[in-house]
Amino acid sequence: MTKKEAPEEDKQPRMGGPIGYALGGLVILVIFGVLIAVFIFPTLFFQSNLTGETAKDFSLTDVYGEEVSLYQIIDGTAVNSTGPKVVVLDFFSLSCDPCKEEMKELKELWAEVDQTNVSFISIGTDMGDSNSRLQGYREKNDYNWTFARDNKNVANDYSVTAIPTLVVIDRDYEIVAYRVGLQGKGTVRGDIENALSRT
């Protein structure tokens, strides 16, 4: 008696059973997780990058009551200026731990750069951080560059959606680096050197 062969479809491997359902469920969970992350943390997926654009001018009052004008610092016309400068904008908040870690990197870098050609401006984006709190934080940690409170929506002008955000601007007012998230000293130094070499 001849054994009857199984139909072709019965010979194909099947993905049913516990393993198949587990794999299918895992794929669905991964897709669902990515979608949730996109909606809850959009800045991780859709970050602005203003590199190559002209920096927007602004004037703020620093924590000691002195006016800070971006273009005047860049072109060297600010009071007590030593000449045109590359500027590093540091958008931060006192409640942001990565911002504080990055500030330590900036402190080391500040001690190494030629301060006659480079200026740092740390801009507090949290309106809960008063001038006195920012001033106290600056002095406690010996951060010897300009600190100012963002009461004119400068962060919005620079499309800041997450902090820390660093913006490096050359002496032709062009943004040469736009970095979101904690940056190391070496990265920022490279951006500054690039800006200095351009003008």
Tell me, what's the pLDDT at 43? 45
* Residue 162, pLDDT score: 94
What is the pLDDT, as a whole number, of residue 45?
45
Q: Can you give the length of the chain in residues?
A: 199
H helices then E strands: how many in the chain?
7, 7
pLDDT at 171: 96
The pLDDT assigned to 115 comes to 94
First-to-last alpha carbon distance for the chain, in angstroms, is: 93
Place of tokens 């002209």: 54
Burial class (CB in 10 A: 0-12, 13-18, 19+), 22: exposed
Q: What pLDDT sits at residue 46?
A: 44
Q: Is 122 exposed, middle or buried (0-12, 13-18, 19+ CB in 10 A)?
A: buried
The rounded distance, in Å, linking the Cα atoms of 5 and 58 is: 82
β-pairing, 118-124 vs 86-92, is parallel
pLDDT value at residue 61: 96
Q: What is the mean pLDDT of each run of 10 residues along the chain (199 residues)?
A: 50 58 68 51 56 96 96 92 94 97 97 96 95 97 97 96 96 96 96 92
132/138 Cα distance (integer angstroms): 10
pLDDT of residue 35: 52
Q: Would you state the pLDDT for residue 42?
A: 43
Tokens of 58: 């602004």
pLDDT of residue 20: 61
In which region does residue 80 sit, left (phi positive, over 0), alpha (psi from -120 to 50) or beta (all else)? Answer: left
Tokens standing for residue 94: 């006192």
For the whole model, what pTM was predicted?
0.76
pLDDT at 36: 52
